[in-house]
């Protein structure tokens, strides 16, 4: 999930973290709301302390978030349950990279599915090759194991491979996974792969033509989801949604686009300063402000 490292918060699973005070303030309709895709990546740091919820709630109340992407940690599970309780429609859970290197990956997947029964969609791993030393040739047999197991034991779930990240290497990884034996293209034409995910950022132009060519080989009913995108500059976020989101829809026929990320210590964040490591005041990005109509964080 994280551009650098996953933020891990693994205390014992508690009852839903309620939130202290809520923030209200509806946004308005217009070109930005029309371009926006109501999906959001969340790092569930300090979830049980209620740090994020007051700032996330306005997006849910305004129906600006229909689904989230979160890891399968206990905090991620609690986050998923909370957003569903406020009207989100579905959860995209991420099976963690560290579990891919274990011999009993099917058992670990069963564990995560049991804990996160709210998640219908599962990405198996996150940016393999960036966050874990594993080639597409090493990864694909592991994905096939989970894919086969999920179809047998969890037929209601939709399992998708990890999303290659933009750039030449990401395009090559996608091409390899599409073309190898029992690869993405084969599974898609067999009706066994209904969603393929991508990570695309504004510096990914080398990624576009090769990836578009691979997508055009897929059956038209296979959905393409961009499960991470954004820009590391809060002052450019609004223009990014207005200009780049339509390009992602046209270029990749993306039916879902997940903003990366709700909050972390970078300017990808919609809300800055929430993680204790950020060492700065809590601020709302112009994108958050224009979507919600809320200019300043509340004072508790």
Which is nearest to 207 in space by CA: 229, 189, 185, 222? 229
Eight-state DSSP code of residue 297: P
Rounded Cα gap, residues 182 and 180, in angstroms = 6
How far apart, in Å, are the Cα atoms of 56 and each of 82, 169, 288?
Answer: 11, 34, 10
Residue listed under structure tokens 């990749």: 252
Which is nearest to 3 in space by CA: 143, 126, 169? 126
**pLDDT value of residue 269:** 97
Q: Which two tokens stand for residue 230?
A: 């954004």
Question: What b/e readout covers 129-163, taking b as 16+ CB neighbours within 10 angstroms?
Answer: bbbbebebeebbebbbebbebbeeebeeebbbbbb
Q: Which CATH architecture has domain 31-292?
A: Alpha-Beta Barrel (3.20)
Contact by Cβ (8 Å): 100, 140 = no
Query: Per-residue pLDDT for the chain (300 aa), expressed as one digit of tens each?
Result: 444 332 222 222 222 233 333 444 445 579 999 999 999 999 999 999 999 999 999 999 999 999 999 999 999 999 999 999 999 999 999 999 999 999 999 999 999 999 999 899 999 999 987 888 899 999 999 999 999 999 999 999 999 999 988 777 888 999 999 999 999 999 999 999 999 999 998 766 778 888 999 999 999 999 999 999 999 999 999 999 999 999 999 999 999 999 999 999 999 999 999 998 898 899 999 999 999 999 998 876
Rounded Cα gap, residues 72 and 119, in angstroms = 9
Rounded Cα gap, residues 7 and 14, in angstroms = 18
Eight-state DSSP code of residue 162: P
What is the value of pTM for the model shown?
Answer: 0.89
Q: At what angle do helices 208-215 and 168-179 cross, to 10 degrees?
A: 20
Cα dihedral sign for 232, 237, 243, 249? positive
Helix, coil or strand: residue 7:
coil
Facing residues of 259 across strands?
40, 229
């Amino acid at each position: 999930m994280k551009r650098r490292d996953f933020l891990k918060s693994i205390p014992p699973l508690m009852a839903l973290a309620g939130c202290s005070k809520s923030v209200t303030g509806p946004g308005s309709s217009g070109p930005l709301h029309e371009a926006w895709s109501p999906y959001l990546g969340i790092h569930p740091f300090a979830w049980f302390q209620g740090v994020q919820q007051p700032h996330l709630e306005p997006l849910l109340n305004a129906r600006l978030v229909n689904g989230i992407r979160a890891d399968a940690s206990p905090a991620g599970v609690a986050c998923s349950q909370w957003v569903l309780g406020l009207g989100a429609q579905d959860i995209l859970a991420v099976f963690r990279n560290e579990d891919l290197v274990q011999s009993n990956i099917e058992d670990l997947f069963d564990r995560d599915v049991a804990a996160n029964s709210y998640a219908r969609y599962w990405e198996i791993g996150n940016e393999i090759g960036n966050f874990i030393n594993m080639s597409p040739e090493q990864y694909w047999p592991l994905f096939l194991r989970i894919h086969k197991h999920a179809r047998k034991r969890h037929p209601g779930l939709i399992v998708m491979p990890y999303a290659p990240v933009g750039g030449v290497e990401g395009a090559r990884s996608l091409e390899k996974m599409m073309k190898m034996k029992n690869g993405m293209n084969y599974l898609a034409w067999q009706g066994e792969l209904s969603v393929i995910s991508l990570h695309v950022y504004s510096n990914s132009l080398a990624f576009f033509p090769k990836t578009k060519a691979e997508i055009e080989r897929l059956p038209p009913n296979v959905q393409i989801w961009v499960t991470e995108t954004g820009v590391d500059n809060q002052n450019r976020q609004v223009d990014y949604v207005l200009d780049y989101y339509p390009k992602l829809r046209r270029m990749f026929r993306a039916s879902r686009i997940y903003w990366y990320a709700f909050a972390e210590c970078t300017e990808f964040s919609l809300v800055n300063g929430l993680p204790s490591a950020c060492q700065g005041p809590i601020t709302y990005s112009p994108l958050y402000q224009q979507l919600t109509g809320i200019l300043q964080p509340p004072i508790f």
